[in-house]
Amino acid sequence: MEHDNAGSRAESQGTARTSTSLMSFQQVIDQTFGAKDRARGLGGTFMWFTEEVGELARALKRKEVDRENLVVEFGDVLAWLCTLASAVGIDMEEAAARYMKGCPRCRAIPCACGEATRFHATPPRG
């Protein structure tokens, strides 16, 4: 989550692991950035989200895998996704729950829809 003091936060995150849940993550992100994100508005916050998605794309495209960088970029994308959800009152646990019993469409684990359905049909995950 590279808001204002980008570098220092990314560095201080390190690779320390703590047990977390999507719900507690969303809550911490909201407590940490919610006021700023709401003041910025949905449009500006969505722009930041897409910026972070672009950074993740660049990290994934690297020829040599930089695991630390990938951890940072995945975290940033998740943080911005959660802040967007909070902005419109969506609980990410609820959003994730749709996938916890298998494919929302065919209900199978693994998904049995097939590539054609998944990528070309109308709303594949509706």
- Give the nearer residue to Zn ion in terms of CB position, either 58 or 107: 107
Q: In whole angstroms, how close is the CB of 102 to Zn ion at the nearest point? A: 7
Q: Which two tokens stand for residue 89?
A: 């009152």
| Contact residues for Zn ion, defined by CB under 5 A | 103, 105-106, 111, 113
Q: In whole angstroms, how close is the CB of 61 to Zn ion at the nearest point? A: 28
CA angle 102, 74, 33 (to 5 degrees): 105
Do residues 55 and 78 touch, judged by C-beta distance below 8 A? no
Q: In whole angstroms, how close is the CB of 111 to Zn ion at the nearest point? A: 3
- Give the nearer residue to Zn ion in terms of CB position, either 90 or 108: 108
- Give the nearer residue to Zn ion in terms of CB position, either 95 or 111: 111
Residue with token string 């959660």: 82
Q: Is 64 helix (H, G, I), strand (E, B) or coil?
A: coil
Q: Output the DSSP codes for 35-52.
A: HHHHHH-HHHHHHHHHHH
Q: In whole angstroms, how close is the CB of 29 to Zn ion at the nearest point? A: 30
Residue, CB closest to Zn ion? 103
